[in-house]
Amino acid sequence: MNGLRHLMSPMDFSVEELDAIFDVAFDIEAHLHDYKGALDTRILATCFYEPSTRTRLSFETAMLRLGGRVIGFADASSSSAAKGESVADTIRTIACFADICAMRHPKEGAPMVASEVSPIPVINAGDGGHHHPTQTLTDLLTIRALKGSLSSFTIGLCGDLKFGRTVHSLIHALTRYDNIRFVFISPAELVVPDYITELLDEKNIPYEATRRLDDAIPDLDFLYMTRVQRERFFNEEDYIRLKDYYILDRKKLSRAKSDMYILHPLPRVNEIAVDVDEDPRAAYFRQVQYGMYVRMALILTLLGETKAGINRGLLIR
Ligand code: NCD
């Protein structure tokens, strides 16, 4: 891969480029120790203006496992944003210190603004209710690992399809693969935004929408559960009314195919009962593990550090 690249949306990479990243991620999974010095001397900055456990720690662990180092902040109140500094000035400053930056921000488009002035690669680690491309890389890698391919399946997305950025990014990404059918399962207040159904209509991709998880579940190959995004609600009463709308429990799961996998970007609140975790179809903690491998592969790719992969016979474009 040549030149400065950023990752704002999963569509920023071609399907072939994504495949190359996934090949590296699988190689990392199989030969983790071979990558331990790959980014010796390089520094990742994690600039998180919004809460996170998995995404930030996954980026940081990914960099540490590649032999690199990490700087950053986990909370806007401990950065100069609290003094009124713009995102553009912050990234110009960060770029004096670090080689690559992962940024999460509550405002849609903030990482994009940063990327426009940044001399180092910027990765969108989630911008408001908009996109979350590295969660999507995680989801795609997990699907490929579980199913062996990224085509020919029915996926149900359940919960907060209105504000859930992981849902928006994943649907976009899946429109480029063959023979995928979507089932959107949500209350009327949390349906998928129009710009997404318009995109599906344009591309002639089949989808249906329902409120009833029970009715939808028997047909699914993947069920992607999501949390109701409390922080994006305008009023607490609506949140309280909708937060426990779906709870996947063993009884509901008994209607699913024996090889249907359950995914969830996490954090979980109540939407999956904990006794479901023991079910072999529950894949959400494996998904977290794949998130680290794919972020390792992504950081290597964006830094043009192809050595580790090429030494193992893999080509990163
Ligand atoms: C998601 C997010 O932040 O959008 N979490 C994550 O990064 N794995 C989902 C969520 O917060 O519900």
Q: Is it the case that residue 101 has pLDDT exceeding 60?
A: yes
Q: Count the helices and strands in the chain (H runs, E runs).
A: 12, 9
Predicted structure pTM score = 0.95
- For atom 8 of ligand 1, the residue with the nearest CA is 265
Q: Is it the case that residue 69 has pLDDT exceeding 50?
A: yes
Q: What is the mean pLDDT of residues 258-275?
A: 97
Q: In whole angstroms, what is the distance from residue 44 CA to residue 42 CA?
A: 7
Q: Is it the case that residue 79 has pLDDT exceeding 90?
A: no
Q: What is the mean pLDDT of residues 56-81?
A: 95
Q: What is the pLDDT of residue 317?
A: 41
Q: What is the pLDDT of residue 82?
A: 84
Q: What is the pLDDT of residue 131?
A: 96
- pLDDT-above-90 percentage for the chain: 90
Determine the distance separating the centroid of ligand 1 and the alpha carbon of 34, expressed in angstroms. 30
**Contact in structure between 200 and 173 (CB atoms under 8 Å):** no
Q: Is it the case that residue 105 has pLDDT exceeding 60?
A: yes
Ligand 1 near 104 CB (within 6 A): no
Burial class (CB in 10 A: 0-12, 13-18, 19+), 265: buried
Q: What is the mean pLDDT of residues 291-296?
A: 98
Q: Is it the case that residue 245 has pLDDT exceeding 60?
A: yes
pLDDT digits (tens, 9 = 90+) for 219-236: 999 999 999 999 998 889
What structural domains does the chain harbor?
Answer: 10-131+291-310 (3.40.50.1370), 133-287 (3.40.50.1370)
pLDDT digits (tens, 9 = 90+) for 12-38: 999 999 999 999 999 999 999 999 999
Q: Which atom of ligand 1 is nearest to the CA of 132?
A: 4
Q: Which atom of ligand 1 is nearest to the CA of 160?
A: 12
On average, the pLDDT of the chain sits at 95
Q: In whole angstroms, what is the distance from residue 315 CA to residue 317 CA?
A: 6
Determine the distance separating the centroid of ligand 1 and the alpha carbon of 192, expressed in angstroms. 16
Determine the distance separating the centroid of ligand 1 and the alpha carbon of 67, expressed in angstroms. 26
Q: In whole angstroms, what is the distance from residue 222 CA to residue 228 CA?
A: 19
pLDDT digits (tens, 9 = 90+) for 126-183: 999 999 999 999 999 999 999 999 999 999 999 999 999 999 999 999 999 999 999 9
Going from the C-alpha of 57 to that of each of 91, 100, 231, 233, the distances in angstroms are 20, 15, 21, 26
Instruction: Count the Cβ atoms, other than its own, within 10 Å of residue 126.
Output: 27
Ligand 1 near 134 CB (within 6 A): no
Q: Which atom of ligand 1 is nearest to the CA of 50?
A: 3
